[in-house]
Chains A and B, each alone.
Chain A
């Protein structure tokens, strides 16, 4: 058949076919562009049914010598108002955050709103929101997986990190629409409380070393590019948080037992055990939409089908000027907690700290033979902060002893 003869001819010619697709990285860094607006006000807060769970932060943007900065606004009058009873709870300012009394908590089904008066006299309110009914988180588990995340090295290359994925189980009630917001805190006991880049810790601060000329050669031998680290003077825990916005709606799972819902991961940066507390918030539909927008603009913006950027407008307004854009949101929520404790010694050979410089557990102490100012120092205090505490996490010993 003539036809097949020519088909074979074409197949022979196919050997000469080449295709050179020179794929390069399709993502390139670029100088960020902004059109900064000064004096933007951003209000963020939660009103929850757990003591110590409620807070409000009020921030403002400013351009200082062309550099964009945000700072907390101090001196505001901030109060939570029960929209039904009219009860008002005044918040106190502590380190830039406004907090109610430690015992303050609301109940599911109550309607609350926020009232803020700035030092300038400007008034902002939130639309009243009803605290949804609480859905308890039944259980949580940590499951070890390879390549849970990537870590970018200083040279810009991606390094995969193994770690634990965190899953929760809860039973979604059938008779209502439910919206969830998850976050977690991870406590990990640390042995290093301070690192002084190119310097030493003396009198409560890091000092950059400056030697007389005759000692410079000797000091350079010992101290070149050396970051001294200092152990903790008392037991101390690093605190980490989940880095993704985790929201969930029961629109496709109403009334079902939600099993193994992944809320994040804990990378294997060290082999120390970790203690993790999950917070499961029940939020309103409006709050869910707000956090969805927050997630879109901060986490979902890099894909081919990225949602287009949009304003992060929540439930706040200026009662004297309804056309003013008031950024942020006050979320009225009910909360359920659960904690887990996870040993990691069996995964030690895969821990980042064991084979690279990115681990947080490497000690590089001062040594006597080094030409360092007296007295040699080996410990630093455990400074209380959002990311570190010396207060034993509630439940730590219970799990640890088991």
Chain B
């Protein structure tokens, strides 16, 4: 480090001497002019300091100052300049100096100097994973700028700042896309599905931050290679460890700490990235509030990816992902019929992805993937009057094999064609009484089902102005035994049943799913796009709470619960302004069938026959999204406004299956107005200031239509669902990142990030509920109301955190 610095200073002095000598020799011949060179990063226009400038003819040069400037006075003449800087592509430039001249030079970051084998591997992968139309990409460098709660870089919170994406509140076990429910999004982490994407009851997402290379979100024109979820696909990609040397990065914080290692194991053959994050700081909670004495909240997530390059044409990768949470909160209701003093939640995800990409020619590839995903939520009930723990456990075992051939025929046509087989093995739940004798062991039948799909997609540009994306997916779903199919009388009582043995086919569904997209280029910087997609969904998460718990029941379709399906139409106008801003307006309409909702009094816990507790209803969602984005420059960011509706409608014939008199009503995810704004000020190479403001209509909730005294209690009476709305949600977040390394050649680079979440302490209620008026509690606050009412908020104050992040390479 010091040696390098000395070397450059020495070089500068030598060059200066030569320059002086040269200028003395020519001083009498020509006029002297000033040359000013300003060097900055082409990506963000931030001035680059210490850039080396060499002027061949005078054997002289120098380095830029902190503002990226370099000055020199030279005689009239022709000069060849060489501008170089570590990590950036070298620039050579010829000038003729016959006047004072100011030269602006933009330098581009260069790819690392990697071996040819690895560069080939990068190109191979890029070709296979080429972007589809209608995809919203967020690179890691964008995500890390977004201020987030607890100072944690968070994929899902970043997503909620995009147009059309919301969550269920400050704690939300997933995201809602264009008014869809949380389970209507397919979340893939290196192609393996993640069934519970959040830590700590939804405070932040489980994906190991430092290993993520980027996130693609498909919410309109979902490519035919994806299927099974109606609203969106969130494709989170793990970095490929293309490296020739050891790299470390990580961070230290009171909430969690993390470390990632990227290293070659066998040079140019076997490469690895391994990252992990852990949070074990719940012992601090009682310091902040006595009410948090009984709260436990620990978590771990880690990702390991191995990349094997057996030949120039083959690339084999293996990704392992593990996450686990353990928490205990007083704010969670106990389970009925299990007598316990407290409940704890313990859940884990264990995913593996094995992928092989083979290049058949320069333009044709075969990619084959094997996936295994296991999600195991557990609830631990500590018995009230005994030293015993009762354990409830459920499990999803998901397996997938997928093979896809893709080819770029020419500049106008490329296509892919593939087959996919999924297997779901769901254990809906088992109850282990431990060493107690208060309950019996329970073990519900596993639900085993298969989803077989074939798909193809053609991207075709018939003219310079028109491009088409035509996709088709065909799915076949089978539910196999063991299964008990009941027959019910008019009162809902079981009159007979049919037993299916292990492996016997119970029910099958199939469907053709067209996916269409078209773009008409209006000019060099504007276009109109239309899209259509039909998708069937055979698995759903069943819950009757504001946000699903990690232990909420997952259920595949069966003879009673029909697959959900939708038809989504989109129309958009896209325009780039002055090459700096990207502007778009997108409209969409989506009709859905067989959305699941709960019946009054539904209880899904260890219920064998769920058909008695749910009904299936129609839905529709529509909206217009306005989006403005400035991706580069010292000031960059985006803002969007969405007007949208998300509605549901029952068609019940009896009272218990009728919701809001079978009229359209607002779904839990209806947010008519949403505004998001994210702005980053990169004042210099050391400081980045980011602000994020979000405001949206409050969540629909249900207010009582009456109050009656029942068993000496004042009980609210509800006749409708979602007939009111919580107050408008709004929040401003701020982060300030300070990179303190002055020397760009440091192998160790660190930064401090200060995050202030909810800067002005907005109290945004997650829920509002009624209580009995308890004597003189809260004085006369509730007035003559027959009931009291409270707002439950999770983040209702300023939340400040500081973390230290580092990189070593």
Interface residues of A, Cβ cutoff 8 Å to B: 2-3, 6, 9-11, 13-14, 16-24, 26-37, 40, 42, 44, 59, 61, 67-68, 70, 127, 152, 154, 156, 167, 183, 241, 243, 245, 247-262, 289-290, 292-294, 296-298, 300-313, 317, 322-323, 325, 327-328
B-side contacts of A304, CB under 8 Å: 171, 201, 329, 331-332, 546-547, 766-767, 792, 794
Binding site for A on B (CB under 8 A): 151, 171, 201, 248, 252-255, 288-289, 292, 329, 331-333, 336-339, 384-385, 431, 437-440, 442, 491, 544-547, 549, 598, 600-601, 603, 606, 654-656, 658, 668, 702-721, 723-724, 747-748, 750, 752, 761, 763, 765-772, 774-779, 781-794, 796-804, 806, 808
Whether A27 pairs with B790 at a CB distance below 8 angstroms is yes
Q: Which residue of A lies closest to B281 (CB)?
A: A19
**11 examples of A-B residue contacts, CB within 8 angstroms:** A9-B748, A17-B252, A17-B254, A17-B804, A20-B801, A30-B790, A70-B709, A167-B385, A252-B442, A253-B438, A306-B545
Task: Pick the residue among B338, B761, B790 that contacts A252 (CB under 8 A).
Answer: B338
A22 touches B786 (CB 8 A): no
CB distance from A47 to the nearest CB of B (A): 16
CA distance A249 to B712 in the complex (A): 23
Contact between chains at A298 and B715 (CB < 8 Å): yes
Q: Are B776 and A154 in contact (CB under 8 A)?
A: yes
On whether the beta carbons of B438 and A259 are closer than 8 Å, the reply is yes
Across-interface contacts of B708 in A (CB, < 8 A): 40, 42, 44, 59, 61, 70, 327-328
B440 near A254 (CB under 8 angstroms)? yes
Of A2, A29, A253, A298, which contacts B439 at CB under 8 A?
A253
Note all chain B residues with C-beta closer than 8 A to A37: 705-706, 719
- The answer to whether B331 and A293 touch across the interface, beta carbons within 8 angstroms, is no
Q: Compute how far the CA of A376 lies from the CA of B637 in the bound complex, rounded to whole angstroms.
A: 81
Whether A42 lies near B717 (C-beta < 8 A) is yes
A19 to B549 alpha-carbon distance, docked (Å): 28
Closest to B292 in A: A23
Residues of B within 8 A of A256 (CB): 437-440
B601 engages A323 (CB within 8 Å):
no
B257 (CB) vs chain A CBs: closest residue: A14
- CA of A16 to CA of B772, assembled, Å: 47
| A305-B775 contact given A14-B804, A261-B339, A310-B601, CB 8 Å threshold | no
Q: Which residue of B lies closest to A303 (CB)?
A: B333
Q: Point out the residues of chain B lying under 8 angstroms from A261, CB to CB.
A: 339
B384 CB contacts on chain A under 8 angstroms: 260, 262
B residues less than 8 Å from A303 (CB atoms): 331-333
Chain A residues in 8 Å Cβ range of B710: 42, 44, 294, 298, 328
How far does the alpha carbon of A84 sit from the alpha carbon of B709 in the complex, in Å? Answer: 32
- Residues of A contacting B768 in the complex (Cβ-Cβ under 8 angstroms): 30, 33
The residue in chain A whose Cβ has the minimal distance to the Cβ of B287 is A21
Among A30, A249, A300, point to the contact of B333 (Cβ < 8 A): A300
A253→B655 contact, CB < 8 A: no
> Given known contacts A6-B808, A260-B385, A293-B601, is B545 in contact with A18 (CB within 8 Å)?
no
Which residues of A are found within 8 Å of B336, using beta-carbon distances? 247-249, 292
- Which 7 pairs, one residue from A and one from B, show the smallest C-beta to C-beta distance? A32-B789, A301-B769, A293-B601, A289-B601, A310-B600, A20-B800, A252-B439
CB pair B717 A306 closer than 8 Å: no
Chain B residues in 8 Å Cβ range of A241: 711-712
What distance in Å separates the Cβ of A324 from its nearest Cβ neighbour in chain B? 8
A313 touches B709 (CB 8 A): no
Q: Are B253 and A323 in contact (CB under 8 A)?
A: no
With A152-B774, A154-B777 given, name 9 new contacts (CB 8 A).
A10-B806, A13-B804, A32-B785, A61-B708, A154-B775, A243-B712, A257-B437, A262-B385, A290-B601
The answer to whether residues A6 and B748 also contact, given A17-B252, A312-B717 and a CB cut-off of 8 A, is yes
State the CA gap A245–B601 with chains docked (Å): 14
Give chain B nearest CB distance to A105 CB in angstroms: 21
**Knowing A35-B723, A156-B777 touch, does A28 contact B655 (C-beta < 8 A)?**
no
* Of B201, B248, B384, B769, most A-chain CB atoms within 10 Å: B769
User: How close is A57's CB to chain B, nearest CB, in angstroms?
Assistant: 9
When C-beta atoms are compared, the residue in chain B nearest to A329 turns out to be B710
Whole-angstrom distance between the Cβ of B624 and the nearest chain A Cβ: 29
Inter-chain CA distance A183–B712, complex, in Å, is 12
Cα of A294 to Cα of B772 in the assembled complex, Å: 14
List, in ascending order, chain B residues with CB within 8 A of A247's CB.
336
B656 near A253 (CB under 8 angstroms)?
A: no
CA distance A247 to B606 in the complex (A): 17
Bound CA–CA A17/B754 (angstroms): 10
Q: Are A18 and B802 in contact (CB under 8 A)?
A: yes
CB pair A35–B724 under 8 Å, yes or no, is yes
Instruction: Decide if B253 touches A17 in the complex (CB within 8 Å).
Output: yes
Given A30-B768, A325-B655, A305-B288 contact (CB < 8 Å):
no
Rounded to whole Å, the gap between the CB of B601 and the closest CB of chain A is: 4
A294: chain B residues at CB < 8 Å are: 710, 715
- Given contacts A28-B791, A30-B791, A67-B784, is CB(A252)–CB(B337) below 8 Å? yes
Closest-CB distance, B147 to chain A (whole angstroms): 15
Closest to B704 in A: A34
In the complex, the answer to whether A36 meets B800 with C-beta atoms within 8 Å is: no
Residue of A nearest to B748 (CB): A6
Contact B437 A28 (CB under 8 A): no
Q: Which of B440, B654, B761 has the most A CB atoms < 10 Å from its CB?
A: B440
Docked CA distance A304–B331 (Å): 6
On chain A, the residues within 8 Å of B776 by CB distance are 154
* CB-based contact B798/A23 at 8 Å: no
> Is the beta-carbon distance between B711 and A245 smaller than 8 angstroms?
yes
A248: B residues at CB distance < 8 A: 336-337
Tell me whether B703 and A35 are in contact (CB under 8 A): yes
Instruction: Write out the residue numbers on chain A whose beta carbons fall within 8 Å of the beta carbon of B717.
Output: 40, 42, 311-312, 327
Contacts of A310 in B (CB 8 A): 544, 598, 600-601, 718, 721
Most buried by B among A20, A27, A308: A308
B100 to chain A, nearest CB (A): 46
* Chain B proximity of A33: nearest CB distance (Å): 5
A233 to B384, CA, bound (A): 43
Cβ 8 A contact of A3, one of B331, B763, B783, B808: B808
> Looking at the complex, which one of B292, B709, B789 makes contact with A31 (CB distance below 8 Å)?
B789
* Among candidates B253, B337, B720, residue contacting A251 with C-beta atoms closer than 8 Å: B337
Is the pair A32, B782 in contact by a Cβ cutoff of 8 Å?
yes
In the bound complex, what is the Cα–Cα distance between A183 and B779 (angstroms)?
A: 30
User: What residues of A have a CB within 8 angstroms of the CB of B655 in the complex?
Assistant: 311, 313, 317, 322-323, 325
Contact of B705 with A36 in the complex, beta carbons under 8 Å: yes
Q: How far is the CA of A14 from the CA of B750 in the complex (A)?
A: 12
How far apart are the CA atoms of A366 and B235 in the complex, in Å? 79
> Known contacts A260-B384, A304-B201: does B799 contact A22 (CB below 8 Å)?
yes
Give which listed residue, A16, A30, A67, A327, contacts B789 with CB less than 8 A: A30
B546, A309: Cβ atoms under 8 Å? no
Q: How far is the CA of A42 from the CA of B716 in the complex (A)?
A: 12
Residues of B within 8 A of A156 (CB): 777-778
B549 touches A313 (CB 8 A): no
CB-CB under 8 A from A21, the residues of chain B are 288, 799-801
If A35-B724, A298-B715, A327-B717 touch, does A28 touch B793 (CB 8 Å cutoff)? yes
The interface residues of chain B lying within 8 Å CB-to-CB of A249 are 336-337
CA distance A11 to B251 in the complex (A): 10
For A26, the chain B residues whose CB sits under 8 A away are 792-794, 796
CA distance A32 to B778 in the complex (A): 13
Inter-chain CA distance A323–B151, complex, in Å, is: 53
A302 contacts B769, CB within 8 Å?
Answer: yes
Q: Chain B residues with Cβ under 8 A from A22's Cβ?
A: 288, 761, 797-800
The answer to whether A10 touches B332, judged by C-beta atoms less than 8 angstroms apart, is no
Least Cβ–Cβ distance between A160 and chain B, in angstroms: 12
**Chain B min CB distance to A216 (Å):** 27
- The answer to whether B440 touches A292, judged by C-beta atoms less than 8 angstroms apart, is no
> Closest approach, in angstroms, between the C-beta of B182 and any C-beta of chain A?
14
Chain A positions within 8 Å of B545 at CB level: 305-308
When the two chains form their complex, are residues A70 and B707 in contact, meaning their CB atoms are under 8 A apart?
yes
Residues of B within 8 A of A250 (CB): 337
